[in-house]
Amino acid sequence: MPPAPTISDPRFAQIEGHRPYLMRYALSQLRDGQLAEEAVQECLLAALEAIDGFGGRSTLRTWLTSILRFKVIDLQRRAMSERNQVELTDFAAEAGEEGWLDELFDDTGHWRQAPSAWSDPEAAFEQRRFWEAFQGCLDKLPPAAGRVFFKREIVGEETNVICKEEGITASNCWVILHRARLALRSCLEKNWFGKEAAR
Amino acid sequence: MEKKPPAETVDCRAASRLLSIAYERKLTAGESESLTYHLDRCLMCRNFDSQLKFLHRASEKFRTGNG
């Protein structure tokens, strides 16, 4: 074991700052808090050992994610051999009927709450508080929707790969993603863009 | 001149679903036609379209940590 990194090492704080993102990534892949925690821990330790080799060709987050990906695959293999498959989830409840759409659209198929025009939305990218709001909105998604959205839009996995991993049909996958997008836009409109306009 | 309506017209509920599905697969010619016809006439769905693009860009930024 290499000597434990100390808190005073500035690189420690830099890497540590990405922990919440890495935890989201690990959870989306492993669906088990304890395993995810373990993967992130191993990733951060490995990253500290290898940080001198990080050339800055990609962002620090991208580099950390590539390390984490290997730790996740490793743990998936170990978990598979130790016990049976991770149980299949909550999808029926989340994707099944489309009654939830009735809350968003009226009988004539119109928006109940019209999406408004967000002015210069990308200016938000520069603001730390926007990213807090963004993560807060991700956290409010139902678990399966959050996981599928993370894999699809944030990690950029192919839809058919996600369907296979999650054991669902493509059309279920689309319904879940659609729902996640509707929920996220509504959450951001309420918690960010609405407030922005009021400021 | 006013364009001829598509074979199948869609409401906001269906249009929003097509906008989302377009991120997963190519829409059929009929779907695209119905969607374009609707968007030309519906500001709310055009706003939703822009918001989806924003979510897509934000997710990309979040991935690299460049936010």
pLDDT for B4 equals: 78
Work out the average pLDDT over A12-22.
90
Please answer whether residues B44 and B13 qualify as being in contact, where contact means their C-beta atoms are separated by less than 8 angstroms.
no
- Domain around B44: 12-64
Considering the domain delimited by A10-82, tell me its CATH architecture. Orthogonal Bundle (1.10)
As a whole number, the mean pLDDT across chain A is 85
Domain boundaries, chain A: 10-82, 91-198
Asked if A33 and A79 count as a contact pair (C-beta separation under 8 A), the reply is no
Does residue B54 form part of some domain? yes
Q: Which residues from A are below 8 Å from B25, CB to CB? A: 159
Q: How many domains does chain B have?
A: 1
Q: Is residue B34 part of a domain?
A: yes
Q: Please list the ranges in chain B whose pLDDT falls under 70.
A: 1-3, 66-67
| B24, B59, B62 member nearest A174 (Cβ) | B24
**Which alpha helices (H) appear in B1-67, and where do they start and end?**
12-21, 29-41, 43-64
Which of A154, A158, A159, A192 to mutate: most B Cβ within 10 Å?
A154
**Nearest residue on chain A to B56, alpha-carbon basis:** A153
Give the number of A-B residue pairs with CB atoms closer than 8 Å: 99
For residue B30, being part of any structural domain is answered with yes
Interface test with B, best of A185, A188, A189 (most B CBs within 10 A): A185
On whether residue B41 sits in a domain, the answer given is yes
Q: Of A26-30, A85-89, A173-177, give the lowest mean pLDDT range.
A: A85-89
* pLDDT tens, residue by residue, A74-113: 888 887 766 545 555 555 555 555 677 888 999 999 999 9
Contacts B52 to A, Cβ<8 Å: 181, 185
CA atoms within 13 A on the CB side of A40: 23
Cβ A167 vs Cβ A88: under 8 Å: yes
Assembly ipTM: 0.93
Q: Which two tokens stand for residue A170?
A: 């493509």
Is B44 part of a structural domain of the chain? yes
Q: Is position B7 within any domain? A: no
Q: Is the pLDDT of residue A66 over 70?
A: yes
pTM of the entire structure?
Answer: 0.82
